[in-house]
Amino acid sequence: MLASSSPRRRQLLNLIGIAHDVRPANIDVSARPREVPRRHAERLAREKASAVATRDPDLVTIGADTVVVINRTVLGKPADGDEAARMLALLSGREHLVITAVAVSRGKKLRSAIEEVRVKFRRLRDDEIWAYIATGEPMDKAGAYGIQGFGATIVERIEGDYFAVMGLPLVRLVGLLTLSITRRSLSNASWPVASSIGTQRASFTSQSWSFVSPET
């Protein structure tokens, strides 16, 4: 079950063969006073997973949240083109941090993990910034860019998990799923799974999964 309007996260779930439908999760995504970005992302991922899990405890529920941070400033989704231009100008020629948290809930179990990636933009001219905004791509993304689209032409380098920048760290996710699935859920389809606790073999059924993200 995918509780998100994010085509990127849905694309990534399809990429690794996880069948899913869509169900939105409605929670307050505001940051708490003095809440650091890493803690904020993980809390939201866990709250989103829990929100859908309470509706149907039998579902494996996936929650995720991504924040973009530069000089201790958190960049969310731009409200309009002018705000997108300010964000892109701030990121131009500089390095920033992308933090993506993912959580998996099933029954009474809730597990989470965090992936941090360093990203550097090349220097952008004003006309390049506005040409990118004209594509419409920046408007529904934290930090006003998407690395998997036209945004690939403005990213000079990354250090870390590419899929975490897209919004879903797949290695972390599959590791959490491995811990959450019981032996009765296993089928004949076997995957190599690299997780934060090591590398192992795991099998998954074609059951429906529940996915919750900040892009609802």
Residues 6+ apart with CB under 8 A from 79: none
Nearest to 132 by CA among 118, 153, 156: 153
The DSSP secondary-structure symbol of 85 reads H
* Residue 144 CA, distance from chain mean position: 15
Catalytic residue selected from 21, 28, 65, 126? 65
Residue 53's H or E segment, with its range, is: helix 37-53
Six-digit token string for 141: 């993304």
* 18 HSE (CA, 13 A, CB side): 22
Distance of CA 101 to the CA centre of its chain: 7
The candidate with the shortest Cα–Cα distance to 20, out of 186, 215, 213, 207, is: 207
DSSP state of 183: G
Tell me whether strands 209-212 and 2-3 are parallel, antiparallel or unpaired.
parallel
Confirm whether 65 is a catalytic residue. yes
**H or E element, residue 166:** helix 162-166
Q: Which residues have a catalytic role annotated?
A: 65
